[in-house]
Amino acid sequence: MPLSKRLSEKKLIEQIRRLALGGRSVSTGIGDDCAVLRVPPGHDLLVTTDFTIENVHFRRNWHPPELVGRRCLTRGLSDIAAMGGEPRAVFLSLAVAVAVPQKWVDRFLKGLLDLAKEFKVPLAGGDTAESPAGIQADIVVVGSVPKGKAVLRSGAKAGEQIYVTGDLGGSAAALARLAESKPMGAEYSKYLRPQARIAVGQSLRRRGLASAMIDVSDGLSTDLEHICQESRVGAEIEAEAIPRAQIGRGNKERGNKERGKKERGKKELAKKLIALDFALHGGDDYELLFTSAAVVPAQVAGVRVTRIGRTTRSAGMRLIGADGKRQPLLAAGWEHFA
């Protein structure tokens, strides 16, 4: 249906154009061959692209469209955060099959643009196309950072401390809950709305507190391995130090833990072990993982920061258990819908 395709594409472009914000960095936005952006003098440019694909990164019957849109942009913003940068403009390439209801697209765009507004970053362009099946969105975020000051993955030295912001594993645990078709309480669903740590990343960069940094998008073990490989160091992580997301009944019952401890002992333990796996290998938390030669405050830009281990001269990653025993830690990133 070529004509309807053309019309619906045109409609989508106009819809995005109407919804798009102007912005200080964008001198020409949607409606020309390219967007024209101003980069502040003395700044480097940051560019990141992230695909969000139906049935790979989200499922239409699991994820509300607003959250898909929000997360689509969060992925890009989080990459800017991991460089200590400032987001300046967003580009969205969106391919949608004819069978996808317009309402879904409306709500997806609302989620994405509401978040763009929160971060005061304009939608400056993109592309639209008809997809043969499902939804494919590619988000591009352009940012800036003072020249030469981007925090890379390659800056860690042996003997530094390893830190992480916020909690880990919440997103994976919420997804596992969805996969079991169990009801989602508010304790879970907040983990479907991860926050890009832009302010934390900038603060760490300005204060020189991060020697290497990455966002936890593929899971702690996988993303830590990226830092290790790029920096040519090893790492030791203390299992007990990892800040795990606390969700579901386990959370509510914390106060009553002493009561019935004996009866539920085994079950509680099993629960915790599962949570550690989520925290070690679960993705999509978008917290910042970084190394530092300095002592980092317990809070940065209002977000809790936890020391979880240290870099080592000897290659490879090791997990130190509660009993002090070391075992190899292998990168085993969370698989969506595994």
Q: Based on the shown chain and the rule CB under 8 A, indicate whether residue 55 belongs to the binding site for a second copy.
A: yes
Of 128-136, 164-172, 190-198, 247-255, which part binds a second copy (CB under 8 A)? 128-136
Complex with a second copy: residue 41 or 255, whichever CB lies closer? 41
Instruction: Give me the least distance between CB of 250 and a second copy, in Å please.
Output: 26
Residue 56 interacting with a second copy (CB under 8 A):
yes
Residue 160: HSE in the Cβ half-sphere, 13 Å Cα cutoff: 24
Does 178 interact with a second copy (rule: CB under 8 A)? no
Answer yes or no whether residue 109 interacts with a second copy by CB under 8 A.
no
Residue whose structure tokens are 């290497």: 212
Assess 34 for contact with a second copy (CB under 8 A): yes
18 binds a second copy (CB under 8 A): no
User: What's the CA gap between 76 and 87, in Å, rounded?
Assistant: 9
Q: Which stretch binds a second copy (CB under 8 A): 41-49, 107-115, 161-169, 177-185?
A: 41-49
Q: Which of 153, 177, 205, 244 binds a second copy (CB under 8 A)?
A: 153
Q: What pairing do the DSSP bridges indicate for beta strands 161-165 and 303-312?
A: antiparallel
Task: Please identify, among the stretches 16-24, 43-51, 182-190, 292-300, the one whose residues bind a second copy according to the rule CB under 8 A.
Answer: 43-51
Residue range at the interface with a second copy (CB under 8 A); choices 15-23, 63-71, 89-97, 314-322: 89-97
Shortest Å, Cβ 14 to a second copy:
12
Distance from C-alpha of 83 to C-alpha of 202, rounded to nearest angstrom: 8
The DSSP bridge pattern shows strands 212-215 and 288-292 to be antiparallel
Within residues 227-266, the interface with a second copy by CB under 8 A covers: 230
As a residue count, the chain comes to 338
Q: Does 199 bind a second copy (CB under 8 A)?
A: no
Q: Which of 221, 167, 216, 163 is nearest to 190 (CA)?
A: 167
Note whether 11 binds a second copy by CB under 8 A.
no
Q: In whole angstroms, what is the distance from residue 124 CA to residue 136 CA?
A: 19
Two tokens, residue 116: 């763009």
Pick from 11, 14, 24, 51: which binds a second copy (CB under 8 A)? 51
From candidates 16, 35, 67, 247, binder to a second copy by CB under 8 A: 35
Beta strands in 206-325 (DSSP E): 212-215, 234-238, 288-292, 299-300, 303-312, 317-320
DSSP string, 160-203: -EEEEES-BSHHHHHHHHHHTT----HHHHGGGS----HHHHHH
SS (H, E, C) 67-82: HHHHHHHHHHHHHHHC
Examine residue 330 and tell whether it contacts a second copy (CB under 8 A).
no
247-253 long-range contacts, Cβ below 8 Å, gap at least 24? 247/170, 247/173, 247/174, 247/185, 247/187, 247/188, 247/191, 248/173, 248/177, 248/185, 248/187, 248/188, 250/275, 251/187, 252/187
**Least distance between a second copy and beta carbon 49 (Å):** 5
Nearer to a second copy, 89 or 228 (CB): 89
Q: Which is nearer to a second copy, 79 or 236 (CB)?
A: 79
Interface residue list for a second copy (CB under 8 A): 2-3, 5-6, 27-28, 31-39, 41, 44-51, 53-57, 78-80, 82-83, 85, 89, 91, 93, 95, 124-134, 136, 138, 140, 142-143, 145, 147, 150, 152-154, 213-215, 230, 333, 335-338
